[in-house]
Amino acid sequence: MARGIIALLVASCSLRGEAVNLNRAAQGSSVWNAEFTVQLLNGTGSFTVEVHPDWAPRGAARFQKLLQQGVLSDARFFRVVPNFMVQFGIPGNPEVAARWHDANLDDDDVKQSNSRGYMTYATAGPNTRTTQMFINFKNNNFLDDQGFAPFAKVTKGMDVVDAINAEY
């Protein structure tokens, strides 16, 4: 995709895979995938993340709950820092956003580095993760010592993620 594309919103998020895999994911023992469809300035694109409950069990379980409840439907990419990361996760519906605003999640131990394409929750300090998360545009291993625990990685469509920018 060409440079200068703006991601306007996450149009839909859905879990892909067999029911067996989702049941295992709910128990925290199996890797599973989620596919995002993104509305871009010149059309749509998609990317797939592979969720690893063994990396960050609380984060992966929260992410699954967010998807199952449709919390991320119509969420927008609201922060893009070139050569660092793209952030999303504020629910598009203000009532839903209000319900999740103070739903803090205890931190997971950092078991993976914040490498390119890895997804982690944003925080406002220890044990403050809610619904906001970001995807690393590059290797940001300095975040590891700050407690940012990746729970997923982009396995398909990183070019779509790379095309998201803040040029309005």
Burial 119-145 (b: 16+ CB within 10 A, else e): bbbbbeeeeebbbbbbbbbeebeebbe
pTM for this model (two decimals): 0.84
| 102 three-class SS | coil
**Higher confidence at residue 103 or residue 37?**
103
Q: Which tokens in the block code for residue 40?
A: 């871009």
pLDDT in tens, 25-41: 444 569 999 998 887 77
pLDDT at 23 over 70: no
pLDDT category at 153 given cuts 50, 70, 90 is: very high
What is the spatial distance between Cα 64 and Cα 58, in angstroms, rounded to a whole number? Answer: 10
